[in-house]
Amino acid sequence: MTCRVALLRMQGDGLITLPPSRTPGLRRRPDFPATTATDPQTPLHAPVHELAPVSLRLVTDRTASHLWNEYIQRYHYLGYSPLSGSQLRYNVFAGDQLVALLSFGASAWKLAGRERFIGWTDPQRSRNLQRVINNARFLILPWVQSKGLASKILALCARQLPQHWHDRYGYRPVLLETFVEFERHRGTCYRAANWIHVGQTTGRGKKSLTRRQLIPIKDIWLYPLRKDFATILAQ
């Protein structure tokens, strides 16, 4: 998807001429209608320390991918949206029971609060932005009410994601970011997992050409994956 966007931009700038599209008209957004596979399960109310061991499992095959998309479409308030660029998706289990789902992908291009926190210049950001990873989705399944589970999952991700990312893409990220719609959520689990609140978005979106707010304003949360993250990002 990222390559396709780049090629279309190059054509728009007159640098290349692409052959005609083999798919006439607009591409339909993938649809993941609810099936019995994602029906609600037995409610779980035990605190995290009483659960079976919590583990992360990477989504790696087509069947697991489709099921992950279906859960997100059915139960996450933002629904399913395809990730572009480098990405990892996780299913989270307590023993053999699925309790949560997460995804990580490319970071935002520019964030004033993040840039101030890191203290880098625009050229440094352009060179090193790939080492900042965005937590795009985090869903605790609605029938799971387990105190401390969300922050436990975030802590597991902070420990395990750098190696998983290296195994897939050949480098280690040094900073995680996420956005929390503050009128809907307070970001309590991120605060409990020692993420740092660094400001808010402007609400203009990625490609806005206006200074007006177009989408909900969100809190920006960051989590350094190593102590020297700022030095690495400023190289």
Q: Is the pLDDT of residue 129 over 60?
A: yes
Q: Which among 28, 154, 50, 147 has a CA at the least distance from the CA of 95?
A: 50
**pLDDT band (50, 70, 90) for residue 142:** very high
Please write the tens of the pLDDT for every residue from 91-108: 999 999 999 999 999 999
Q: Which pLDDT value is given to residue 5?
A: 84
Q: How confident is the model at residue 206 (pLDDT cuts 50, 70, 90)?
A: low
- What pTM does this model have? 0.87
> CA 103 to CA 131: how far, in whole Å?
16
For position 21, what pLDDT does the model report? 84
Using only the alpha carbons of the chain, give its radius of gyration: 19
- Is it true that domain 44-233 has CATH number 3.40.630.30? yes
Q: What share of the chain is helix, strand, coil (3-state, %, to 5)?
A: 35, 20, 45
Q: Are 75 and 37 spatial neighbours (Cβ–Cβ below 8 Å)?
A: no
Mean pLDDT to the nearest integer, 56-66 = 96
Chain length of the chain: 235
**DSSP-derived secondary structure letter, 174:** -
Output the 3-class SS for 183-210: CCCCCHHHHHCCCEEEEECCCCCCCCCC
Please state the domain extents for the chain: 44-233
